[in-house]
Structure 1
Amino acid sequence: MRPLILYLLLFILVNRVYGNRHFRLGRRENGNLGAPGAFEDNETPAPKWFSQKLDHSNPSDLRTWNQRYYMNDSFYDYEDPGPIFLMIGGEGPADPRWMVKGTWIEYAKLFKALCFNLEHRYYGESRPTTDLSVKNLQFLSSQQALADLANFINAMNQKLKLRKNVKWMVFGGSYPGSLAAWLRMKYPHLVYGAVSSSAPLLAKVDFMEYFQVVVKALREKTGGDDCVNHLKEGMQQVDMMLKANPEVIEKEFKVCSPFQGVSANDLKNFFNSIADDFADLVQYNEDNRFSVDEKYKNVTINTVCKILTDSEGNKAAYKKLAEFNAITLEKSHETCMDYNYGKMINELRAVEWKENTGGARQWMYQTCTEFGFYQTSSGAADIFGNHFDLDFFVQQCMDIFGQKYNLDFIRNAVAWTNTKYGALDIEVTRVVYVQGSVDPWHALGILKTQDNGAPAIYINGTAHCANMYSPSDNDSTELTEARVEIQQFLDSWLREP
């Protein structure tokens, strides 16, 4: 699910997305879920491989492929076996660090669980087909991924000779959070309970609410309108100066090529990139993700807003935006901002696996055929300008995969997804939904406990999947209490006869 669909998916998370920082579409380079903490190589388990079916919808299709998974049985007592915990992979490579770090591992220690992490088909090293042509991508869908998980559970039950009443508990954050709830709904005989974190259960073509939450978070975290007003002023100045003095913006924002002769889509990409800086900032604000360079841990809403509102030197608003842009370029190890639309499309047209290790083309395909999730400027046009509307994202689907993938196609696909899974009216028990108020994805999630008893935990002040990361001394009281509440639900379900 940008800062995606997600994204998970992704793992990760650096600002360099899809090879060009401006292109996120709901996910980062390796998914929406970040790495859970620092580690030593010898701490993490080696990968294992599972012979998976290619097409679960066709019983006569006997083709198989090797799916990657990880296993940690260091807490498990084979003589007195406990539950099985399964972390669901998402829109990026499975990260073995999750097998030794994160809140779910603390739960596993407590309940003496056997832990698995199954990588999502078509991401990381789980490659069902020879390439990523449109013909081969037909086997990439959430429905096939759920069937993968069910097949894996059945196979592990047999391979490890697990007792018949063993309780499988599944965990997922962002898009895998949705998969966790859907897996419990679709295969209740296999999955006893689920923790669904930051899950966008409602598929939506025009996800205009995303940037509305971003703007709201900027206001709430800083206690007023100053930061948003300076952001708005800066965006307006950039817009005006692109028309009058484009060379100034070229220099300030360190673009890779001059604006002379660029296309309308190039400019949309440019504006989308600036907005994405703030999307990334808000979605992962003050979480406990592992950072390769600790100096960027303090790049938060408050520190960036301090840059924007600083009156010292009477610096123009657009220059302050450029200052933040320079930080994100440095953080993602980029020397310039590449906004070239044609280059981006060509990269996403590549069908070779070696060109798509992060999952950019794959997740783009899923947004075009299942979810939408396009974070348009439509909901916050007064702040960011309406430069990246829905047409901009739909055009990408058509340019990458073909004219068939137009707006009508995407709308029908999204409607089918919501009908298939129930969207926010999903009927399922023993699923705890966890959302954070600062995370823009909560706008597509379940925030209140359902009539069927499926509980919801809404954590004020927290960002995307914050409850999944290892605890920190800086965690808020609400976040700490949420982790305990999730533990209590797990304990209650596991005690059931």
Structure 2
Amino acid sequence: IQIFLYSFLLSVVLLLALCAPAWCRFKGFGRLHALGQQQLREAPEELWFPQKLDHFNGADDRLWKQRYFVNEAFYRLGGPVFLMIGGEGPANPAWMQQGAWLTYAQKLGALCLMLEHRFYGKSHPTADLSTDSLRFLSSRQALADLAHFRTVMAESRGLTNRKWVAFGGSYPGSLAAWFRLKYPHLVHASVATSAPIHATVNFPEYLEVVRRSLASENTECPTLVKEASDAVAKKLQDPKTYDNITKDFNLCSKLQVQTEMDSAYFLETLAGNFMDVVQYNEDNREFEGVVGTNITIKVLCGVMGDRSLGDPYARYAAVARLMMDTFSMKCLDASFSNYVRDMTNTSWDGTAAGGGRQWIYQTCSEFGFYQSTDSPNQPFTGFPLQYQVKQCASFYNISAEQVAEAVAQTNEYYGSYDIRSSRIVFPNGSIDPWHALGITQDISPDLPAVFIKGTAHCANMYPARSEDLPQLSLARDHVFVLLQQWLKQ
């Protein structure tokens, strides 16, 4: 769910916030975690499910095909059905072969399904990504997709009387909670991992958590980052420094700063190095084939504290070069005009069609979530809320007032923090900035929170490994115990 990632890695790899099937920082497989003798040996087959384009207009009978996957390896007659919810990126088949949910499935004899989110991956409901087409992209339509998929699959596979459990991480975690909230007759329980359930236009708390997470490694680290970010911002005010900045940060073309949007984009791009690493610190994404998982908060703070590299500005540039080397980037494209070009390309073949144009639309039309520098209690400079919201107008002709109204409607529809439901568990990690918009304390005995100290975004969803913190292992066990209890109800 991160806006800033497009500033940095849009042209390389789609790394948005999704832990689970989506922007799970989507990709291939990596080392496998043994799940028993019945583990799938090959990538699962792509299957296709017919869906209505508009579930809320009975006069519109247009259909499209939605991608899904099935793993029957662990299913025992009478067992539950686990449904992994896709999010803002391609559904990754790796999740049909690994992950904590499959460990639960093996123990509980569950049939496992994963449904890709409309408008992401290969699930194309419309001919293009024009703003007119994106009218059919929303969490409400996605939940209706899930409901119809669940109903038809239950009938066609003889699973009507089975108990269904929804799983999701990050935005799909929100969908898992809301699926149980809005369709309680269809889903028996939900595991809503790292789920932001409160929509907000301005989300400066994200960077406040980044500061605290950096400080947890080294108390000087956020101060050094602040000095460096301020230094870059000051240099951007003097065109004479642009050649040096271009060289220092290995930019693909000479830095051009003609408007505040240009400087904000560049500053956000550099901040994104730290934001992404904090969000996914020491997770287990390598099983998906995600590169860069060896870059941790400790590594970045180590660079920022290395006096031999020069002043904080020079160390900031060293971090940028480290990230480029890690992701095999020849240079850093810091051009805001190139970003606008990519984001306004409405073709399915466009650079941002992997999820960027779609997700930013959802932030403008439903959620906000803009990670601005508007708080004084964070270490970055120069990308205020105004910069984020202006993109909604530029890309989709959605005004700031419309964004605010859409966010208010989202909270009114789903209830924000005041969820009234049952059998939903909310795991969150203390290092993950998204926990600031999630449930970190029990709402009720039937709506428990699992707050995991020292872990990052969606950590409990990944395959277990020997180096996991004890509290992470206990959190996975806690979720399993809840599932056992709830499936008996």
TM-score tier after normalising by the smaller chain length: over 0.9
2:402 aligned with 1:409: yes
Match of 1:425 among 412, 418, 441: 418
CA distance, structure 2, for counterparts of residue 297 and residue 25 of structure 1: 15
Give the equivalent residue in structure 1 for 2:232: 238
Give SS of 2:383's match: coil
CA distance, structure 1, for counterparts of residue 149 and residue 329 of structure 2: 40
CA distance, structure 2, for counterparts of residue 38 and residue 314 of structure 1: 33
Give the equivalent residue in structure 2 for 1:400: 395
Compared CA separation, residues 348 and 34, structure 1 to 2 (3 A): closer
Match of 2:184 among 180, 184, 188: 188
Give SS of 2:145's match: helix
Q: CA deviation at 1:25?
A: 8.1
Match of 1:459 among 452, 456, 476: 452
Give the equivalent residue in structure 1 for 2:266: 270
Compared CA separation, residues 247 and 382, structure 1 to 2 (3 A): farther
Q: How does 1:346-365 map to 2 (within 5 A)?
A: 346-355=341-350, 356-365=352-361
Please tell me whether the aligned partners of residues 53 and 65 of structure 1 are also in contact (alpha carbons under 8 angstroms).
yes
2:251 aligned with 1:259: no
2:314 aligned with 1:319: yes
Give the equivalent residue in structure 1 for 2:37: none
Match of 1:111 among 105, 108, 112: 108
Q: CA deviation at 1:290?
A: 1.4
CA distance, structure 1, for counterparts of residue 340 and residue 245 of structure 2: 24
CA distance, structure 2, for counterparts of residue 204 and residue 136 of structure 1: 25
2:140 aligned with 1:127: no
Compared CA separation, residues 128 and 261, structure 1 to 2 (3 A): closer
1:397-429: CA deviation from partner (whole Å, max 9, x where unpaired): 111112xx1111000000000000001111110
Match of 2:463 among 435, 454, 470: 470
TM-score, normalized by length of structure 1?
0.91
TM-score, normalized by length of structure 2?
0.92
Compared CA separation, residues 15 and 491, structure 1 to 2 (3 A): farther
Q: Unaligned stretches of 5+ in structure 1?
A: 8-13
2:46 aligned with 1:31: no
Compared CA separation, residues 254 and 113, structure 1 to 2 (3 A): same
2:170 aligned with 1:174: yes
Give the equivalent residue in structure 1 for 2:66: 67
- The percent of aligned pairs where both chains have the same amino acid is 41
CA distance, structure 2, for counterparts of residue 37 and residue 476 of structure 1: 23
Compared CA separation, residues 44 and 314, structure 1 to 2 (3 A): closer
2:403 aligned with 1:437: no
Match of 2:81 among 80, 84, 96: 84
CA distance, structure 2, for counterparts of residue 20 and residue 70 of structure 1: 26
Question: What letter is aligned with 1:102?
Answer: G
Question: What letter is aligned with 1:419?
Answer: E
Please tell me whether the aligned partners of residues 15 and 25 of structure 2 are also in contact (alpha carbons under 8 angstroms).
no
Please tell me whether the aligned partners of residues 18 and 25 of structure 2 are also in contact (alpha carbons under 8 angstroms).
no
Compared CA separation, residues 476 and 209, structure 1 to 2 (3 A): same
Q: Unaligned stretches of 5+ in structure 2?
A: 33-39
CA distance, structure 1, for counterparts of residue 119 and residue 291 of structure 2: 34
2:154 aligned with 1:157: yes
- Using the TM superposition, name which of 87-96 and 239-248 deviates more: 239-248
CA distance, structure 2, for counterparts of residue 310 and residue 329 of structure 1: 19
1:348-386: CA deviation from partner (whole Å, max 9, x where unpaired): 11111111441111111101100011111112476212x
Q: CA deviation at 1:444?
A: 0.3
Please tell me whether the aligned partners of residues 67 and 123 of structure 2 are also in contact (alpha carbons under 8 angstroms).
yes
Compared CA separation, residues 34 and 409, structure 1 to 2 (3 A): same
Q: CA deviation at 1:333?
A: 2.6
2:226 aligned with 1:227: no
Give SS of 1:307's match: helix
Q: CA deviation at 1:232?
A: 1.6
Please tell me whether the aligned partners of residues 15 and 331 of structure 1 are also in contact (alpha carbons under 8 angstroms).
no
Question: What letter is aligned with 2:157?
Answer: L
1:16-73: CA deviation from partner (whole Å, max 9, x where unpaired): 633279x988679962455695268952211100011111101222211100000000
